[in-house]
Amino acid sequence: MPSYRIYRVGHAGRLLLGEAFHAENDALAIETARVLQDAERPMELWEGGRLVGRFSSLGLFTAGGSG
């Protein structure tokens, strides 16, 4: 099962504290990340070295990178 990590994004786009979890696929990882999301900060969801996507501080998800 793939390992994902969600990072809070600080000033100047610097990644801060991350939280790891496992999910069967990107869709389930995105749903899990929504629960872990900090409503006041943008966040990035990664699977290994691949950016899955970004959450805005408003909770909007944008897919990132290519497959």
| pLDDT one digit per residue (tens) for the chain, 67 residues | 999 999 999 888 898 888 999 999 999 999 999 988 877 789 999 999 999 999 998 889 999 864 4
List the domain range (segments joined by +) for residue 42.
3-63
Using the Cα atoms of residue 30, residue 35, residue 5 and residue 3 in order, give the sign of their dihedral. Answer: negative
- What's 39's DSSP letter? T
* Number of folded domains that form the chain: 1
Quote the pLDDT of residue 23.
98
Specify the pLDDT at position 40: 79
Residue 65: the pLDDT is 60
